[in-house]
Structure 1
Amino acid sequence: MSQSYAESLLSPSGSADDHIPASSTATEIPSNSTGVGTQPAAARKPRVALACKRCKRRKQRCNGARPVCRSCERAGVACAYERTLRPQYPGGKSA
């Protein structure tokens, strides 16, 4: 037997290149003409400080619009925000 065990697993002829198309070689890197990190910073939606009760219950994104958020407006339901009181700490910072 002239082929090693590892070579015989690759292909009957002992070469792994017999069945790999030329377009999928590891040396080719797909080019991106626009570059890395092309998403503008404005594409991300700003984080809403407080979601309405319905959006919290449904675990969906709330746009935080007052008096009625977009989700509740589309559903035609009453939009209610829960009033949360944060404790005041010495130094003026709240946790």
Structure 2
Amino acid sequence: MMLFAPFLASIVPGIVILILTWWFKKKNFSFSVRLAPGIVGIVGALVLFYIGFVNIRGFEGAAYGILAFFLVIFAFVALIIGRKPKYVG
């Protein structure tokens, strides 16, 4: 439960980040706009980790750290999706 609850809580914002990045790439937005959801996800994950580590501590703080870890994974995938150029064949 300690691992699955933060993972399940990170799936919803992670999927939103991935869908926004994919949609921005599909609509040919600029490079900075395509990277924005991933960067916002990483910043949000860092803030959650800081709150869990400094303010909450203990097992609940560890849950915030696990949530931040999964959000960073989603954000890095979004950065990779946004970075790749769209090939027009």
Q: Give the structure-1-normalised TM-score.
A: 0.20
Bigger relative CO (Cα 8 Å, ≥ 6 apart): 2
Q: Which has the higher helix share?
A: 2
Q: What TM-score results when the alignment is normalised by the length of structure 2?
A: 0.21
